[in-house]
Amino acid sequence: MKTARRASNVEVPSFLRQLVKETEKMVTFFFKGGPKETGSGEEDDLDEDDLMPSPYLDRPILEKHVSEGGSQLGVNYAVGSMQGWRAQMEDAHTCMPQLKGELTEWGYFAVYDGHAGTTVAQYCSKHLLEHILATGGVKANEDPEQVKEGIREGFLNIDRHMHKLTRQDNWDHSGSTAAAVLTSPRYIYFINCGDSRTVLCRNGQVVFYTEDHKPFNPREKERIQNAGGSVTLQRVNGSLAVSRALGDFDFKEVDWRPETEQLVSPEPEVYELERTPEDEFLILACDGVWDAIGNEELCAFVRSRLQVCDDLRDICSQVIDLCLYKGSLDNMSIIIICFPGAPQVSQESLQQEAALEQQIDMKVEEIIQMIRSRDEDPDLVYVIKFLAAEEIPGLPPGGGITSKRDCIISSYQKHIMTLRSQEAMDTEGSEEDSN
């Protein structure tokens, strides 16, 4: 089956270098209080911030890790991740489309967004499900309330266990959010602890999404204050940006308080939703994705890509690229789970996509010729900015012109090569005439 043309392997060093410089300025402005001016020949005065290692790299690591799988029940999935601008990759994930034993018709998927280290996220990716199943609440003849209680107890149990390991084995001080789904033949159980998020698209619409656990949410803020803490700069005690997480045991040291009433709670929120034939797909992603794009935008974008691309791994990569170029500075991980009701590639959508890319190609050529007519160098970043200001019908919903970056780059390189070849021929012709 054909898919829409892409050019994801094209290297554009000059474009990336310029993008890096622009983003570096943004990072400096937001995280170091703006650019510093220094006199010529003078050394910068070092302050405390300069001595601390930056959580960001000088340039992003763009290598993606993608994989896919499926089950005999007609469920297909793909997962993609990228380190990006962060100095360390702290995300982890779990994908189990079919569980074992009596739960062969059940599936489990989860994204873990680690912070201050990788230990908790990695440990949970390997062991959280077994702690949930060990409670005995998840059974083939399911009782939704028992399943939800089993999930909740599984989270609390693994957090207690990791707390002991931290004290015994001198673990790092890391923590991790967890956004997961447990699917049965009848229900989807949405599990959330932190600010990663899960969204369900049904019949073309977002019908459910999990709520981020942020310290400034009224209910979360009340618990934090009751535990003797404060919410400063929208963070727990001015430090941690999530109010619920696994690990983070420096925020769970009030011995006389229950674990769910600590500064940071390991208790997940769990909801069940009955499955329908109109269910199309689920998206699980860390906040590096959601910081750059909204629920409806992302679902619309994924839905449009499913109609022109039959490779879920490629769609995950496109989402990651889209969020990177929309300004995400965080690690990014995403899982897309497609049910039998998901949109399929159609000839009509492929033709519309081909027509769109042809229109973009023509506009890129026009812009290059216009710039060259003014004896200026047609810079790629300028071309993209010019296109962004244009009204181009048919762009992918939720993605806009940003999502067609690869098409623009491919077209730009093609027309630049043609232009330079023509100029070289004209130069040779002029030299021959002069001789």
Q: What does pLDDT average to over the chain?
A: 88
Predicted confidence band of residue 426 (pLDDT cuts 50, 70, 90): low
Q: C-alpha 356: how far from its chain's center? A: 26
Burial class (CB in 10 A: 0-12, 13-18, 19+), 208: middle
**Integer Cα distance of 350 and 347 in angstroms:** 5
Mean pLDDT of 325-329: 95
290-301, pLDDT tens digit by residue?
Answer: 999 999 999 999
Mean pLDDT of 234-252: 97
* Residues 93 and 77 sit within 8 Å (Cβ to Cβ): no
**Integer Cα distance of 228 and 237 in angstroms:** 10
| Amino acid identity at 421 | S
* Residues 36 and 55 sit within 8 Å (Cβ to Cβ): no
**Integer Cα distance of 312 and 407 in angstroms:** 19
- 325 vs 25 pLDDT, higher one: 325
Q: What is the DSSP string of 196-208?
A: -EEEEEETTEEEE
196-218, pLDDT tens digit by residue?
Answer: 999 999 999 999 999 999 999 99
**Integer Cα distance of 179 and 27 in angstroms:** 27
Backbone torsions φ then ψ of 420, nearest 5 degrees:
-70, -35
Is the pLDDT at 31 greater than 80? The verdict is no
Is the pLDDT at 32 greater than 50? The verdict is no
Predicted confidence band of residue 179 (pLDDT cuts 50, 70, 90): very high
Q: At which residue do the structure tokens 């000088």 appear?
A: 58
Mean pLDDT of 254-265: 94
43-83, pLDDT tens digit by residue?
Answer: 444 455 455 678 899 999 999 999 999 998 899 999 999 99
**Integer Cα distance of 331 and 86 in angstroms:** 6
- 34 vs 160 pLDDT, higher one: 160
Instruction: Give the DSSP H/E element, type plus range, for residue 59.
Output: strand 56-70
Is the pLDDT at 191 greater than 70? The verdict is yes
* Residues 212 and 294 sit within 8 Å (Cβ to Cβ): no
Write down the pLDDT at residue 13.
Answer: 43
Write down the pLDDT at residue 232.
Answer: 96
Write down the pLDDT at residue 432.
Answer: 61
81-138, pLDDT tens digit by residue?
Answer: 999 999 999 999 999 999 999 999 999 999 999 999 999 999 999 999 999 999 999 9
Listed by start position, the domains of the chain span 1-30+346-426, 64-338
Mean pLDDT of 360-383: 89
Write down the pLDDT at residue 47.
Answer: 52
Is the pLDDT at 259 greater than 70? The verdict is yes
- 16 vs 163 pLDDT, higher one: 163
Outline where 33-118 has alpha helix (H).
48-51
Predicted confidence band of residue 38 (pLDDT cuts 50, 70, 90): very low
The topology under which CATH files domain 64-338 is Phosphatase 2c; domain 1 (3.60.40)
Write down the pLDDT at residue 14.
Answer: 47
Mean pLDDT of 413-431: 79
Is the pLDDT at 289 greater than 60? The verdict is yes
Residues whose CB falls within 8 Å of the CB of residue 206, separated by 6 or more in sequence, listed in order: 199, 200, 295, 296, 299
CB burial string 356-391: b at 16+ within 10 A, e below: bbeebbebbbebbeebeeeeeebebeebbebbeeee
Write down the pLDDT at residue 11.
Answer: 41
pTM of the prediction? Answer: 0.86
Q: How many C-beta atoms surround the C-beta of residue 78 within 10 A?
A: 22
Mean pLDDT of 327-342: 97
Tokens of 432: 């021959």
The verdict on domain 1-30+346-426 having CATH code 3.40.50.11740 is no
Write down the pLDDT at residue 374.
Answer: 86
For the chain, give the percent of residues with pLDDT over 90: 75
**Integer Cα distance of 192 and 180 in angstroms:** 6
**Integer Cα distance of 148 and 355 in angstroms:** 48
Write down the pLDDT at residue 43.
Answer: 45
Tokens of 68: 């896919």
Is the pLDDT at 36 greater than 80? The verdict is no
Mean pLDDT of 167-174: 87
- Whole-angstrom distance between the N-terminal and C-terminal Cα of the chain? 56
Is the pLDDT at 344 greater than 70? The verdict is yes
Tokens of 71: 């089950």
| Amino acid identity at 217 | N
Write down the pLDDT at residue 423.
Answer: 73
Write down the pLDDT at residue 431.
Answer: 60
Is the pLDDT at 227 greater than 90? The verdict is yes
